[in-house]
Structure 1
């Protein structure tokens, strides 16, 4: 009898070779995708670290030092702060800055809001007037300040020429100690109101029309509709822009630097302009950094209010 062949040995269990490469491929793709994301994030963090965080930390360190370019710094503690506080220009700079901020809130808060109300009611040429209102924002700040410097010139300036043509009394404008700061407020309001107007306009257009219709049925007039409908519906935007305006106006520098040079009689010397004088005119970088730290702490309080306001609105 012929021998039967031995049964074949059972084949070893095969592994799913297709699944492993597919899983590895997904993992590699995920790692590559995240690596690119972290690379882009690292670039942004590096820019902030070099140009924002490091200068801020360095300024805090220098505020406690006697720092002169070309010589090694010397640690002096709080001497810079006490010396700055005793400087007569320190009180004048803070007084001018706070006065400018208050005037800018009165003028720069009401004018953009009223302008947005008018633009919201327009039915024709609305796009044209939006461009006209936003146009000053597109002009470089230094160019804008130079234009207004010529406009305010007591002799050949357009402002006094118009007043003289109308047989009205002329003014010294930016050359008078009692009118210079108000003149700068007008310049800053004109130059920066375009963006604020557009934000207000967007907030106004988001208000449901049914609210105005209900107010009209109840007999509410224009001022009553603005008071009881418009202002409550845009309360968050108003508060947010008010805080941002306070932070921005307390850092006013371009207008005093270009138009008045801090004069006349230090009536337009602001905190930021005084920082510039300490650093580049007096060659006192320690005093300039000490004053910068004071301004930083004050603006940090308003920034904290702004962050709390935005978070509470999101919640």
Structure 2
């Protein structure tokens, strides 16, 4: 009995002929379809997690911000939750504290990791050990690191580390978290120490990609270290600096765990109340989930608007 094969193919006895001739347009499309289906199948799990744990809560929060739930009954109230939240005195105080923390974090928490990365890049020996040393605070749980600051570094008594250093330098001591004027700077110091390890490694990777010829040319022209940083290092890492600035602002605007642990929430004279902590307070202490949702949407819109403007400005510069 003869075995037939598809015209134009070299099919072997006992094997079915391919559905399309080899090298044809249909075979190429079929191969691409199978490859795309395989890739999308691998991405499906991550996509489902993203939808369930990110997009759905976000959409649900937006819907809740226009509703009011009382005794199990939900009614649509429109913009009433937003009007009520905006007219609360704590709303504007929380935004003021959050902006103040963000500005201080940009001055200290944004500049210090970049300078530390420049110093590490200049070392020729023990770079691996120094990187581990810088990244070590990131590996600590945030709560543990903040309790370390609260009960050891910021202790207002003579046992406090920072007050001991100030006394050794013959400088006046501080009450730190008990002082309204020192609450935000103290939280910025703790936050910078906890989180700068990751930023240092990112900056260090960008610095090591700068061609050494540029520094050699700058040295031949008589440029000192500060001129080399200003005219070689910063221009060559401009894109990374811009990205890290945006991420820094978005992260610091969501200030929550620092006031919760270091200042017990509001702090002295409400000097530590942030927008994120105010959301927590409305949702879990006042049982006002709709007001908390409205606050969350306001923060979402503010951060999304800032990110859009920032990306537009930086893209024009590029």
TM range (shorter): 0.7 to 0.9
Task: State the secondary structure of the residue aligned to 1:67.
Answer: strand
Partner residue, 1:7: none
> SS state of the match for residue 124, structure 1?
coil
**Structure 1 CA distance for aligned equivalents of residues 113 and 165 of structure 2:** 25
Measure how far apart 1:281 and its partner are: 0.7
- Per the alignment, do residues 278 and 14 of structure 1 end up closer, same or farther by CA in structure 2, a change over 3 Å counting? closer
Match of residue 59 from structure 1: 61
Unmatched runs of 5 consecutive residues or more in structure 2: none
Which of 213, 224, 229 is equivalent to 2:227?
Answer: 224
In the alignment, structure 1 residue 282 sits paired with structure 2 residue 295 = no
Give distance in 1, aligned partners of 2:168 and 2:3: 103
- 1:190–1:266 CA distance, 2 compared to 1 (3 A): same
Match of 2:18 in 1: 23
State the 1:312 CA deviation: 7.7
Matched with 1:206 is: 209
Q: Residues 278, 221 of structure 1: CA spacing in aligned structure 2 closer, same or farther, 3 A cutoff? A: same
Structure-1 residue corresponding to 2:87: 86
User: Which deviates further from its counterpart, 137-146 or 38-47?
Assistant: 38-47
Which of these two proteins has the greater Rg computed from alpha carbons?
1
1:2-28, Cα deviation, whole Å (9 max, x unpaired):
xxxxxxxxx999543827835259989
Q: Secondary structure at the match of 1:83?
A: helix
Q: Equivalences for 1:1-315 in 2 at 5 Å?
A: 14-16=4-6, 18=11, 21-24=16-19, 34-68=36-70, 71-150=72-151, 151-155=153-157, 156-260=159-263, 261-305=265-309
Deviation at 1:209, TM superposition (A): 0.8
Taking a change above 3 Å as real, the CA distance of residues 222 and 293 of structure 1, as seen in their structure-2 partners, is same
* Residues 46/14 of structure 1: CA separation in 2 closer, same or farther (3 Å cut): closer
Mapped partners of 1:170, 1:81: distance in 2? 43
Alignment partner of 1:265: what SS? helix
Q: TM-score, normalised by structure 2?
A: 0.87
Describe the SS at the equivalent of 2:128: helix
Report how far residue 271 of structure 1 moved: 0.5
Separation of aligned partners in 2, 1:88 and 1:194: 37
Q: Distance in 1 between matches of 2:294 and 2:88?
A: 13
**Taking structure 1 as reference, are residues 218 and 161 closer, same or farther at Cα in structure 2, changes over 3 Å only?**
closer
Identify unmatched segments of 5+ residues in structure 1: 1-10
Count of aligned positions = 303
Counterpart Cα distance in 2 of 1:23 and 1:13? 14
- Counterpart Cα distance in 2 of 1:107 and 1:311: 26
- What's the CA shift string for 1:191-214, capped at 9, x where partnerless? 111111111111111111111111
Distance across 2 between alignment mates of 1:231 and 1:37: 39
Contact persistence 1:240–1:306 (CA under 8 A)? no
